Amino acid sequence: MKRSLICLAVLGALSGCSMIPEYQRPAMPVADVWPAGEAYGERNSQTESMDLGWREFFLDPALRKLIEVALENNRDLRIAALNVEAYRALYGIQQSALWPSASADASGTRSRTPETLSPTGQASTGGQYFATLGVAWELDLFGRLDALSEQALQEFLASEAARRSVQVSLIAGVANSYFNWQANRELLDVTSRTLQAYEDSLALVQRSYDVGVASTLELTQARTAVETARAALAQYRRQVAQDRNALTQLLGQNVALDELAGGRLDMDLLAELPVGLPSELLFKRPDIIAAEHQLLGANASIGAARAAFFPSIGLTGAAGSASTQLSDLFGSGSGYWSFTPSISVPIFTAGRLKANLDYAEISRDIRVAQYEQAIQDAFRDVADGLAAHETYAEQVQAQRNLLQVSEEYYAVAERRYRTGVDSHLTLLDAQRQLLSAQQQWVNDRRNQLISEVNLYKALGGGWQVHDAAAASAEPEA
């Protein structure tokens, strides 16, 4: 028995040999710096890494409140968090295979043998009772179990990164839906005021027509403008209602949106974004982090496939007490033990082990391509966001200037029409131009805000602050 325990200790010390290939992170398949040109403006690529939490980035208190509600109640995020816990459990299951398993068992039987079956010709009654402590252990001499455990760990870490990615997407989705809702509400208000102006103008033209001053053409044009505005009003009412429904779904519960004192689109609703080097995407984008963990898991599966070519060694031992009488189960001389080592050597598997190894290596290559694709997608997302950041600023400012000119044009046209200097056609043209400029400014401002949110998302922002789940990312061994 002592010699067996020594052999067991030696074999245990030899276990843990790893056949997992050495991991080398693939080179970045993108440029080292962001694109430059007129669309990007002046930007220092050496800017400090972007560590801006969502509470600091979104300046509108109403929007921050909505994001908090979504993070508490959104079902997609809840499912992602539960997936993390599921992969944590799977990792715990795989990790347990590295250690010996022990079990305590007790059993007993009692039976009567009739005299017709008894070798003595007399009926007899007897019993057997056992109390056993058993130990079983598969020695991981070639690292198969350790590789499977590493693969499970990487899948768990990938699920945690995927949860963060869902959180980033949720925050961006709430913000974009909120800006759509606010923009369509402003468009609804603009259209409502314009309709009132058109109706006032129609009433004025109608009176002029009744006394023979205005023509049928002018009356028809005024009526056309009114009906066009009414159609647009119905459209924006529908869009506001649909935006409210989209926000409610993202929030995961009903919120009195109309009672929120949200900021106007012409206010500073977002903070300025610092942008670092492209290489920092490796550490900020949760989808890239998840892709690398999946790549590491595929790399570990190669080690498990390689180790399957080698013998599998199992150790089974048991010690306990046995007796024919329950009262003597733990009496003197009732002890027993057994030690059963086993070894299984694969000899012929019809190519199954080789096919498993080929599959593991191909899966690793697929993960490499997916990892590189994730980096390329991230680079494009940020590059598009940088171009939008610069050009939308110019576009919104130009549209604001146009809106101011259109307001002045409308004021002059209305004054000249009422004094009889110009025809109603000039006033109608000024009204249409003003409405178009107002609508375009709202749409441009909305697109600018959404592009900034998408840039924030592309940079991996949104989970660094107030993320309790990230603190427990590493599972216990």
Tell me: the pLDDT tens digits for 389-399? 889 999 999 99
Q: How many CA atoms lie less than 13 Å away from 324 in the CB half-sphere?
A: 3
Instruction: Quickly name the fold that domain 18-100+142-311+352-471 has.
Output: Outer membrane efflux proteins (OEP) (1.20.1600)
Coil, strand or helix: which one is 260? coil
What's the pLDDT tens digit per position in 9-27? 445 544 557 889 999 999 9
What's the pLDDT tens digit per position in 406-446? 999 999 998 888 888 887 788 888 989 999 999 999 999 99
Q: Is the four-CA dihedral 189, 195, 198, 200 of positive or negative sign?
A: negative
Give the count of beta carbons closer than 10 Å to the beta carbon of residue 290.
Answer: 23
Q: In what order do the strands lie in the sheet with 101-113?
A: 101-113, 124-139, 312-323, 335-344
Measure the CA–CA gap between 186 and 72, rounded to whole angstroms. 29
Q: Quick one: which of 8, 18, 6, 3 has its CA closest to 316?
A: 8
pLDDT band at 51 (very low <50, low <70, confident <90, very high): low
What's the pLDDT tens digit per position in 457-470? 998 876 554 444 44
Question: How confident is the model at residue 466, as a pLDDT?
Answer: 45
Domain residue spans of the chain: 18-100+142-311+352-471
**Model pTM score:** 0.84
- Strand locations in 324-388 (E): 335-344
What's the pLDDT tens digit per position in 144-198? 999 999 999 999 999 999 999 999 999 999 999 999 999 999 999 999 999 998 8
Q: Quick one: which of 243, 245, 249, 251 has its CA closest to 70?
A: 251
Q: Quick one: which of 390, 401, 393 has its CA closest to 437?
A: 401
Coil, strand or helix: which one is 329? coil
What's the pLDDT tens digit per position in 295-336? 999 999 999 999 999 999 898 999 888 887 777 777 787 888
Tallying the residues shown for the chain, one arrives at 477
Which range scores top for mean pLDDT: 222-236, 250-264, 331-345? 222-236
Question: How confident is the model at residue 471, as a pLDDT?
Answer: 43
Question: How confident is the model at residue 13, as a pLDDT?
Answer: 47
